[in-house]
Amino acid sequence: MKQFLLKIAGYGLVSFLILNGIAFLCLYFLGNSNFYKPQFVKNGVFEKEFDYVVLGSSTGLTTLDTKLMDSITGKKGLNISMDDSALSSHYLMLRHFYALNRKTKCLVLAITPWDMAVTNPTLNVNDYRFLPYVNEEYVYEYYKSLEQTSFKVLTLSRYVPIIGMTYYNTELFYPSLLAALHPEKRNRFDDAGNYSYPNFGKPKKSENKIMELELKNPYYKKIKQLCIDHKIQLILYQSPIFKTSVVTVDNQYQKIINHSQLFQESIMFYDNLHVNDKGRKICSEKFADELGKECYVNIRSNANKYNGYSK
């Protein structure tokens, strides 16, 4: 019995150390690549200061083309939106952005009505992408507070990286191999963080509907407070949704650019929620006009006027 236990413990320990070593190396390579958005913000962006950044989920990622907007406004923007994320992830991304000593004058927060209505945020599908930085307190605290399962995979990965690497093996292990060979490789976004859906998609038929934007998500307040702390002008952006009009029920939003009704032609959409390349061009041009009026002008003339909390 003793011999068996010693043997199992010995082999178990060696396997544990080797596998954790592999996981540690994988996270290291991934953390020093441009593969996912958090890594891109750290390693793939050379400028420190921006006039504006676009932050959101897939709607922010695929609706606003910062390159096009920059060419119109002459300003410098960056898209740090991440697909399959939500306000809580946006908050983490913004903290990550500032932790890396990046700065912006204006934050364009791409929102969705259903995300704003969430009262109990949970971990989002793609939050594992911050795992290479789990040793950073803001990432660790974020995982710790939002992981609701009894076995906290991401939180525990701070001490035992093989846990997260095993659970998210297809999302982390294989990309890390790619990152080790091609650290400059990006996962579906360009060098300004933008991505567009092709023109061959089609939205499903649906009835016209109206959605109210309700402010319930506690992470909205956190983002707002972070903007105040860093003197960032916060602009909310609502992208087009097929056959849907998004309306605000009160005046609690200091500034919102609402494109939900900008167009309704199905040829502009990839699916019901996302515009395609044609739709993106129209949205970006229209947004650039508004950005020039609301963000850039005011930043130059009165930097403190839109400081995130003034109505």
Partner 1 sequence: MLFNSLEFLIFLPIIFAIYWLANKRSLQLQNGLLLVGSYCFYAFWDWRFLFLLMFSTGLDYFTGVKMYESENNNNKKFWFWLSIIINLGFLGIFKYYNFFVESFSAALSDLGFRTNFWGLQVILPVGISFYTFHGLSYVIDIYKNRIIPEKNIITYSLFVSYFPLLVAGPIERATHLLPQIKKQRKFNHSLAIQGVKQIIWGLFKKVVIADNCAFFVNQLFKNTDGYSAPELWMGMVFFAFEIYGDFSGYSDIALGTSKLFGIELLRNFNFPYFAKDIADFWRRWHISLSSWFRDYLYIPLGGSQGGKGMRVRNTFIIFLVSGFWHGANWTFIVWGSIHALLFLPLLISDKNRSSLGNTNYSMKDIPKILFTFLCVCLAWVFFRADNLIEAIHYITGMFSSEHPSLHFFYKNAKYGLLTVLCLISILFLIVVEWNNVKKSNYEIQLPKAIVFILLFMICFMGAYKNQLSFIYFQF
Asked if 106 contacts 64 with a C-beta cutoff of 8 angstroms, the reply is no
Q: Which is nearer to partner 1, 72 or 160 (CB)?
A: 160
> Binding residue for partner 1 (CB under 8 A) from 170, 208, 251, 301?
170
> Binding residue for partner 1 (CB under 8 A) from 28, 138, 167, 263?
167
Q: Interface with partner 1 includes 148 (CB under 8 A)?
A: no
The piece of 44-52, 70-78, 166-174, 236-244 that touches partner 1 (CB under 8 A) is 166-174
Asked if 120 contacts 66 with a C-beta cutoff of 8 angstroms, the reply is no
- The token duo for 13 is 């320990």
Q: Interface with partner 1 includes 179 (CB under 8 A)?
A: no
CA–CA distance, 276 with 145 (Å, rounded to integer): 36
Q: Interface with partner 1 includes 200 (CB under 8 A)?
A: no
The piece of 91-99, 158-166, 232-240, 282-290 that touches partner 1 (CB under 8 A) is 158-166
The piece of 59-67, 80-88, 94-102, 168-176 that touches partner 1 (CB under 8 A) is 168-176
Q: Interface with partner 1 includes 202 (CB under 8 A)?
A: no
Asked if 128 contacts 168 with a C-beta cutoff of 8 angstroms, the reply is yes
Q: Interface with partner 1 includes 1 (CB under 8 A)?
A: yes
The site string for partner 1 over 20-39 (x = CB under 8 A, - otherwise) reads --x-----------------
DSSP 262: S
Residue among 38, 122, 112 nearest 80 (CA): 38
Residue among 304, 243, 236 nearest 273 (CA): 243
CA–CA distance, 190 with 197 (Å, rounded to integer): 13
Classify 74 in phi/psi space as left (phi over 0), alpha (psi -120 to 50) or beta: left
Measured from the CB of residue 101, what is the shortest distance to partner 1 in angstroms?
A: 32
Measured from the CB of residue 117, what is the shortest distance to partner 1 in angstroms?
A: 26
Asked if 50 contacts 22 with a C-beta cutoff of 8 angstroms, the reply is no
Measured from the CB of residue 15, what is the shortest distance to partner 1 in angstroms?
A: 5
The piece of 27-35, 165-173, 198-206, 282-290 that touches partner 1 (CB under 8 A) is 165-173
Beta bridge partners of 99: none
Asked if 134 contacts 159 with a C-beta cutoff of 8 angstroms, the reply is no
Binding site residues, partner 1, CB under 8 A: 1, 3-4, 7-8, 15, 19, 22, 150-151, 162, 165-170, 173-174
